[in-house]
Amino acid sequence: MILIVDDSRENIISLKKVLEKNGFQVDTASSGEEALRKVLKRYYVLIILDVQMPGMDGFEVAEAISGYSKAKETAIIFLSAANTDIKFITQGYSSGGLDYITKPVDMDILLLKVKTFYTIYEQRRALNEMQKALLDEIEFRKKAEQLKDEFISIASHELKTPLTSIKGYIQLLERSIDKDDIPTVKSRFSKVQNQIEKLNLLVADLLDISKIESGKLKLNIKDFSVDELLDNIIEMMQQSYPDFKFTITGSVNEKTFGDEMRIEQVIVNFITNAIKYSPGTNEIQISKYICNEKLYIAVKDFGIGMSKEHQEKVFNKFYRVEENSLRFQGLGIGLYICEQIIKLHHGVIGVNSKPGAGSEFYFYLPVNAIQ
Ligand code: ADP
């Protein structure tokens, strides 16, 4: 946008007409004071400023404008009588550029200058945008690097914990074997198995992450029964968590196409999270149904829940709700992997939650779209 400042209406009209005819957007002010008010409110690429005006003259206006942050990059073309000395005004004016044209105005020269300033302005804007994009990229990479470092340190800790337990139980196991104490041997043996299973899951998650990063996470699509899959999952969960009450509502009653093992991984992840983040409660509700050719599965708990802000981020890689991170162990990759699996199935994953009231994690995917 160009601002023409001139006390003569005829000059304004003729300049405006020529500029608008050449595709420029034009605003006008008929005095220095009006120009200052306008410059305060909006950004102009260029101001065409008559030097001789009653009240504030053009030089005074330019000097005042030089202090405005909005006009930092604005160029000025003075319209002056021949031989006016404009040198002094260039001092202290750190604008996008200064130039002048003597009156009577040669429209061709004016247009040439206006176009030059606009080209410089466009180039500068493109450079600024590029610089901003580069800075954003650097910032993004720095954050990713930092997250990766944190992740490696948490992952090593998470891997070390079951390993230390396994080492301890094996020593105890040795003693119970020496004493021929079979019941204790059995109990310690099952504890070692639990820890190995934990380790196994952790390593599987880490492998999945690396597969996702290299685009190698592939699905093995077949038809399967969701009802059977859920019954098996619940049976397995009930054995591992006998104190919990798992209820299933709805039914699917038809074959679904998808990667059964990966879908199982998502549901198991939802349920283990539901158990982990719901201390002091013992109920998990699972819903399953088909609606508009889509399979819908949700896992609802009555645990700690989370705020809207966290709900938007829990599927991000390495994201953990900070205020809970000391209380609950984890790597912040489970839900990220779930999201990738559901995306590969062309589905949608999400969460509804309320702090203190519990969470419902869900996904839906087309039943037949991928075969
Ligand atoms: P992890 O549990 O290993 O930290 P996830 O990717 O599975 O990683 O979950 C990311 C974060 O989402 C968790 O750290 C936790 O803060 C939050 N979260 C996940 N499931 C629940 C849930 N059912 N209730 C409350 N918070 C949850």
Among 21, 177, 8, which Cα is nearest to 103's?
8
Q: How confident is the model at residue 72 (pLDDT cuts 50, 70, 90)?
A: confident
Can you tell me the mean pLDDT for 266-276?
A: 97
Which pLDDT does position 64 carry in this prediction?
A: 86
Residue 217 carries which DSSP code? -
Ligand 1 atom with the smallest distance to the CA of 337 is 6
Mutate to test the pocket of ligand 1, among 301, 320, 336 (most ligand atoms within 8 A of CB): 320
Can you tell me the mean pLDDT for 181-204?
A: 92
Long-range contacts of range 312-315, CB-CB < 8 Å, 24 or more positions apart? 314/351, 315/339, 315/349
Classify residue 92 as left (phi > 0), alpha (psi -120 to 50) or beta. left
Can you tell me the mean pLDDT for 15-34?
A: 95
For residue 245, pLDDT over 90 is answered with: yes
Ligand 1 atom with the smallest distance to the CA of 332 is 8
Ligand 1 mean position, distance from CA 163 (Å)? 23
Helix (H, G, I), strand (E, B) or coil at 367: coil
Q: Please tell me the CATH superfamily of domain 222-366, with its number.
A: Histidine kinase-like ATPase, C-terminal domain (3.30.565.10)
Which has more confidence, 75 or 358? Answer: 358
Can you tell me the mean pLDDT for 254-272?
A: 95
Which pLDDT does position 91 carry in this prediction?
A: 46
For residue 88, pLDDT over 60 is answered with: no
Mutate to test the pocket of ligand 1, among 270, 277, 299 (most ligand atoms within 8 A of CB): 277
Ligand 1 mean position, distance from CA 207 (Å)? 19
Backbone angles phi, psi at 26, to 5 degrees: -130, 140
Q: How confident is the model at residue 309 (pLDDT cuts 50, 70, 90)?
A: very high
For residue 89, pLDDT over 70 is answered with: no
Q: How confident is the model at residue 96 (pLDDT cuts 50, 70, 90)?
A: low
Of the listed ranges 58-72, 141-155, 231-245, 286-300, the least confidently predicted one is 58-72
Which pLDDT does position 58 carry in this prediction?
A: 85
Which has more confidence, 369 or 312? Answer: 312
How many whole angstroms separate alpha carbon 206 and alpha carbon 224?
A: 27
- How many CA atoms does the CB half-sphere of 363 hold within 13 Å? 26
Ligand 1 mean position, distance from CA 330 (Å)? 8
Helix (H, G, I), strand (E, B) or coil at 335: helix
Pocket residues: Cβ below 6 A from ligand 1: 273-274, 277, 301, 303-306, 314, 319-321, 324, 330-336, 359
End-to-end C-alpha distance for the chain, whole angstroms: 56
How many whole angstroms separate alpha carbon 151 and alpha carbon 146?
A: 8
Which residue's CA is minimally distant from atom 2 of ligand 1? 330
For residue 193, pLDDT over 50 is answered with: yes
How many whole angstroms separate alpha carbon 270 and alpha carbon 267?
A: 5
For residue 297, pLDDT over 80 is answered with: yes
The amino acid that residue 216 corresponds to is: K
For residue 15, pLDDT over 80 is answered with: yes
In the chain, where does DSSP find H-type helix?
9-21, 32-41, 58-65, 87-90, 107-178, 182-213, 226-240, 260-276, 308-311, 334-344
Q: Where are the domains of the chain?
A: 2-105, 142-213, 222-366
Ligand 1 mean position, distance from CA 140 (Å)? 23
Helix (H, G, I), strand (E, B) or coil at 242: coil
**DSSP bridge partners of 296:** 289, 364
Supply the Cα-derived Rg of the chain in whole angstroms.
35
Ligand 1 mean position, distance from CA 320 (Å)? 6
Ligand 1 mean position, distance from CA 188 (Å)? 29
For residue 248, pLDDT over 90 is answered with: yes
Of the listed ranges 59-73, 151-165, 180-194, 226-240, the least confidently predicted one is 59-73
Which pLDDT does position 368 carry in this prediction?
A: 77
Percent of the chain with pLDDT over 70: 95
Q: How confident is the model at residue 74 (pLDDT cuts 50, 70, 90)?
A: confident
Ligand 1 atom with the smallest distance to the CA of 301 is 23
- Topology classification of domain 142-213: Helix Hairpins (1.10.287)
Ligand 1 mean position, distance from CA 269 (Å)? 10
Ligand 1 atom with the smallest distance to the CA of 335 is 6
The amino acid that residue 51 corresponds to is: V
For residue 94, pLDDT over 60 is answered with: no
Among 250, 252, 246, which Cα is nearest to 224's?
252
Ligand 1 mean position, distance from CA 152 (Å)? 18
Which residue's CA is minimally distant from atom 13 of ligand 1? 320
Q: How confident is the model at residue 83 (pLDDT cuts 50, 70, 90)?
A: low
Can you tell me the mean pLDDT for 25-42?
A: 94
| 175, 188 Cβ separation under 8 angstroms | no
pLDDT averaged over every residue in the chain: 90
The class (CATH top level) of 2-105 is alpha beta
Distance, C-alpha 131 to centroid of its chain:
20
For residue 27, pLDDT over 70 is answered with: yes
How many whole angstroms separate alpha carbon 95 and alpha carbon 72?
A: 5
Query: Exposed, middle or buried, 114 (CB in 10 Å: 0-12/13-18/19+)?
Result: buried
